[in-house]
Structure 1
Amino acid sequence: MTDEDASTLLRRMFDAAIAAADPAKVLAGFLPEKPTGRCIVVGGGKSAASMAQAVEAAWPDVDLSGVVVTRYGHAVPTDRIKVLEASHPVPDDAALSATREIMEAAASAGPEDLVLALISGGGSALLSLPRPPLTLEDLVAVNKAFLSSGLSISEMNKVRRRLSQVKGGGLARVAAPARLVTLAISDVPGDDPEAIASGPTVPDPTAHADLSYLMDKLRPALPDAAARMLRAPSPDAEDFTPDYRLIATPQASLEAAADIAQGAGVTPVLLGDALEGEARELGTAMAGIAKAVARHGKPAPAPAVLISGGETTVSVGDQKPGRGGRNTEFLLSLALALNGHPRIFALAGDTDGIDGTEDAAGAAIGPDILQLASAQGLDARATLDAHDSFTLFDKTGALIRTGPTLTNVNDFRAILIRE
């Protein structure tokens, strides 16, 4: 296998992972029976518009209406379902306006109607309606605090649900007494419905919990009103049984990529769809596993590819970070730990096409990446410490730019060890 063959195979695997979560290909098989009344479509997330488009294609003869919100630049043409755009990862006025319109649409449903909720990653920011007396500015402060807090995604979602009127089952409450069916694309470890977009159509499992233990990681940016809410139970705590259908998951995408590898004669080793922790630490750990494959043929003999998903964290502390997301940070840490190993190649990217806030999905590296960086006058170790991985991969031509993929099953990582 040549260097070019290795790089091409990794990209084919990434493309297959994205295709496995394409709403146009998978959504129709999860739709419920057609309603006797209207179908009101609501929802939010990076995939909300493409999901709405897929519903329209599957149900041309149903009385469809409704509204969904997606990230700026992620809208697609629809005929009967209104598509709005708003900011991500920090909510803006457009997110609040869109969420109010979505809640009003759901509330308009009658007993004979079907409310179809389309939920995907990114919905935590896009579906934003602060619980009084919180303001949009308060939500923005909390979201910005998340970015440097070191909180896990699960912990962030606990906070989001407590501070919101729409999350933690809020959308389900206003849709009653209509039948509510949720179609969701998972972007979270474990595919927990209460974590995907912070669970707007499922009960909040932490509604009665004291969340004050999370406050220290969010100070001093945490507004006083938000701090009081984290100490007190949610006023809307209630239990119900949702009709919740996962149409795409990280595991299914990893398995689609594994099929591509196997077809090329490379043994896939699936390490899990829910890996978390600091991106740079995971990079070091994964380099150790890859070197064990190269040296000892364990856990599989080369040629083999280590495949994993999940969502890591980049903690920047008080320093002003450079440019980069968790996937490029992971890759740069991996490259440093591999130190130019001649048989190891890797790719890491966000399946939504945007790693962090940059315009790339991620990057792909080969054994020469550190040499290429040095030739550009870049110190890879210093670049990692400055959280400026995007700049290094941009200058070395290693970035992967897909544009918005209109789906999102979280991060995809593949490390190929050739013979």
Structure 2
Amino acid sequence: MTGDKEILRGLFDAALAAALPDGRFAGRLPPPPRGRTIVLGAGKGAARMAQAFEAAWEYPCEGLVVTRYGHGAATRSIEVVEASHPVPDAAGERAAARILALAAGAGADDLVICLISGGASALLALPAHGITLETKRRINKALLKSGAAIDEMNAVRKAMSAIKGGRLLAAAQPARCITYLISDVPGDEPAIIGSGPTIPDATPVEAALSILARHRIEVEPALATAIRANTLPQVLPGEIHMLATPKMALDAAAAHARSLGFTPLILGDAIEGIATEVATVMAGIAQSAARHGAPVARPAVLLSGGETTVMVKGHGRGGRNAEFLLALALRLDGLAGVSAIACDTDGIDGSQDNAGAWIGQDILAQARSRGLDARAFLDNNDAYSFFAALDRLVVTGPTLTNVNDFRAILIR
């Protein structure tokens, strides 16, 4: 019989395959323009998206996309540059300025193709007038540490940006602009994905200041003035196509589970909350299924996506998926027949080299035999070190896509 580790990894691999842009442009491409085809993009999946677009587009094209360091892919005519994520750097600022300039140079006969995936917010680091990149870095770091939700972080990024929140679309007009998206946000809201560079955002700038105040992040008067001055000009909406979403990935994993004889139950593709609290809820559902056959009878697999957050209290090497999984293991407390995997679909959980980790019913016993205190590791936000010591990390390298977190709880 196939082991739990192999089954869990197979479910994750099925989800990843469904999240890639390869072959997904078919039937979604416009006719060629009279002028140029300019391809612009940003995100962890931007290079792979550019590669897939070139494979599907039968006409000349040019352009530039920016992706995270190590997430590049070979392209023919679309330039790929790399920059820092999640904390912006000068390379991202330069790339964003070039992308904005390319959009501004488009004419009425040109076609502008925008390829946006998760991570675009940090990679398009072009501050609005009166705001420095160092200020954006400081605010971004503070938001990450505060446990702010992804939609809150994106609202602040838009308010501080010269390119996000529809400002790239505004620069590209009067050219026809078509945006292709890979969603990494709960609900697949286009305006939130990558902070919506081509999606006009009517959110009042005061909302960003309220978010910063709510998370007790200091805003000096000059920054507040610059945010209030960064208004969006009137623009016509562009065209939008969704290439991959968290639900598509979960559906693919569910189909794979059925092929193995397991009954899949998708709990949701937009689950948010503190990682340890989400783990408590998931553990309760798994315990009910294992003991009572409800809400699903074994053999089964509970699937979910979304994006949890971590309240940083310790100094360990965490990652929200590893933190979720360690909290889940403690809650399950060795429940027979239950194993689980939790990974970020971009291949990087937090800032470490792993996508996530996996557990079996023996994980806590194994830890005790090695003298490892699971609770102490969790309290120190050091789930990475815990799973590394037990050889339970899942390492994929950059996947060149991103549809957020993937979680599967197997119940035999």
Give the shorter-chain TM-score range. over 0.9
Give the 5 Å matches for 1:54-133.
54-59=52-57, 61-133=58-130
Higher mean alpha-carbon deviation, 305-314 vs 216-225, is at 216-225
Q: Give the corresponding residue for 2:182.
A: 185
CA distance in 2, matches of 1:327, 1:222: 31
Matches within 5 A, 1:262-277: 262-277=258-273
Residue-pair matches, total: 412
Moved more, 338-347 or 204-213: 204-213
Give the partner amino acid of 2:211.
Answer: L
Q: Percent identity?
A: 53
Q: Secondary structure at the match of 1:307?
A: strand
1:224 Cα offset (Å): 4.0
CA distance in 2, matches of 1:307, 1:97: 40
Partner of 1:410: 404
Q: 2:384 is matched by which residue type in structure 1?
A: F
Question: Displacement of 1:149 after TM fit?
Answer: 1.2
Query: Is 1:172 aligned to 2:169, yes or no?
Result: yes
**Which residue does the alignment assign to 1:43?**
41
Q: Secondary structure at the match of 2:148?
A: coil
- 1:247 corresponds in structure 2 to 243
Deviation at 1:217, TM superposition (A): 4.1
> Residue 40 of structure 2 aligns to which amino acid in structure 1?
V
Structure 2 length-normalised TM: 0.97
Q: CA deviation at 1:229?
A: 4.8
Aligned to 2:291: 295
Alpha-carbon distance, 1:13 to partner: 0.8
How many angstroms does 1:218 deviate by? 4.2
Q: Is the 8 A contact 2:36 2:61 kept in 1?
A: yes
Equivalent of residue 13 in structure 2, options 12, 15, 30: 15
Alignment check: 8 A CA contact 1:28 1:54 kept: no
Structure-to-structure mapping, 1:11-410, within 5 angstroms: 11-59=9-57, 61-207=58-204, 209-229=206-226, 232=228, 234-236=230-232, 238=234, 240-316=236-312, 319-410=313-404
- Alpha-carbon distance in structure 1 between the residues aligned to 2:15 and 2:222: 42
Distance in 2 (CA, whole Å) between partners of 1:77 and 1:346 is 34
Question: Are the equivalent residues in 1 in contact too, given 2:39–2:115 (CA < 8 A)?
Answer: yes
Question: What whole-Å deviation, never above 9, does each CA across 1:31-77 have from its counterpart, x for those lacking one?
Answer: 22222321000010001111111111112x41210101000001111
Provide structure 1 residue ranges, at least 5 long, that are not aligned to the other structure. none
TM-score (norm 1): 0.95
Q: What's the CA shift string for 1:348-400, capped at 9, x where partnerless?
A: 00111000111000011101111222223221011101100000001101100
Contact 1:150 1:217 in 2 (8 A): no
Question: In 1, Cα distance between the equivalents of 2:99 and 2:229?
Answer: 25
Amino acid in structure 2 at the alignment position of 1:39: T
Gaps of 5+ in 2: none
Query: What RMSD in Å do the two structures reach over aligned CA positions?
Result: 1.5
Farther-moved stretch of structure 1 (105-114 vs 176-185) = 105-114
CA distance in 1 between counterparts of 2:173 and 2:304 reads: 39
| Misfit runs of 4+, over 6 Å | none
Q: Is the 8 A contact 1:141 1:221 kept in 2?
A: no
Q: Is the 8 A contact 2:83 2:91 kept in 1?
A: yes
Aligned-partner SS, 1:261: helix
Question: Aligned AA for 2:76?
Answer: D
